[in-house]
């Protein structure tokens, strides 16, 4: 999920920064429209830290290993704060641990941030049914958590297989990317269940954290 430096063409990296800039502006604009936008900062800080740490929890799924992403959870709980939170988390991961890269920061933020916003919109659909129902809250929490990772994995797959350098073994690289993408399917279920459990817990102890 974290695309390192040197993998993508320069034009794609520049496009990633352009997309991230636009989405950051959009998110900040939406945050500024709230009556008290600063009230969301402490919550965003906590979940940014959780996103930062989650990348170090590796789950072995032969023939590789994957790690928690939690972008769907951030989208559900933070709403428009999710994209800046993910961008900040990715920046510190790249600078402090070389997890990802600075040239690909914009691409990685787009890959993980767009699904987070989609997860936020998806979770809000529960209000059409019954926002106070634990069943619907858990169901849409699962969909948002699993979908957030699934969309991110799909975006990463499409980007990587369409930018394989011609001097490499294209078929071998495509197979490797496909295997890595499929390995994220079990993780989607894990993230879906984890997100559902978190939102159900928040609904019970502090439901205002799920309101927007």
Domain that holds residue 48: 10-210
3 found inside a domain: no
Instruction: Give per-residue pLDDT as tens, 134-187.
Output: 899 999 999 999 999 999 999 999 998 888 776 666 688 788 888 888 878 888
44 found inside a domain: yes
Q: Which of 43-47, 67-71, 194-198 has the lowest mean pLDDT?
A: 67-71
105 found inside a domain: yes
Q: Indicate whether this model's pTM tops 0.85.
A: yes
204 found inside a domain: yes
| Helix, coil or strand: residue 83 | helix
1 found inside a domain: no
What is the total count of domains within the chain?
1
Under the banding of pLDDT at 50, 70 and 90, the label for residue 63 is very low
4 found inside a domain: no
How far, in whole angstroms, is CA 9 from its chain's centroid?
Answer: 23
What is the distance between the alpha carbons of residues 80 and 74, in angstroms, rounded to a whole number? 9
40 found inside a domain: yes
Res 48 pLDDT > 70: yes
Res 84 pLDDT > 70: yes
Residue 1 has what pLDDT? Answer: 66
Q: Which CATH number characterizes residue 56's domain?
A: 1.10.1760.20
The full DSSP string for 127-161 is HHH-TT-HHHHHHHHHHHHHHHHHHHHHHHHHHHH
């Amino acid at each position: 999920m974290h695309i390192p430096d040197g993998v993508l063409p320069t034009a794609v990296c520049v496009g990633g920064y352009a997309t991230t800039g636009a989405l950051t502006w959009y998110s900040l604009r939406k945050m500024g429209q709230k009556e008290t936008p600063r009230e969301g900062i402490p919550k965003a800080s906590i979940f940014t830290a959780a996103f930062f740490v989650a990348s170090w929890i590796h789950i072995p799924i032969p023939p590789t290993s994957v790690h928690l992403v939690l972008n769907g959870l951030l989208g559900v709980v933070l709403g428009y704060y999710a994209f800046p939170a993910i961008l900040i988390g990715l920046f510190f991961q790249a600078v402090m641990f070389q997890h990802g890269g600075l040239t690909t920061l914009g691409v990685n933020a787009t890959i993980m941030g767009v699904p987070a916003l989609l997860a936020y919109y998806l979770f809000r659909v529960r209000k059409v049914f019954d926002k106070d129902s634990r069943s619907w809250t858990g169901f849409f929490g699962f969909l948002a958590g699993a979908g957030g990772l699934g969309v991110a994995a799909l975006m990463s797959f499409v980007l990587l297989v369409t930018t394989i350098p011609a001097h490499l073994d294209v078929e071998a690289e495509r197979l490797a990317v496909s295997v890595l993408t499929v390995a994220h399917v079990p993780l989607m279920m894990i993230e879906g269940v984890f997100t559902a459990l978190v939102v159900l817990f928040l609904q019970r102890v502090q439901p205002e954290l799920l309101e927007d």
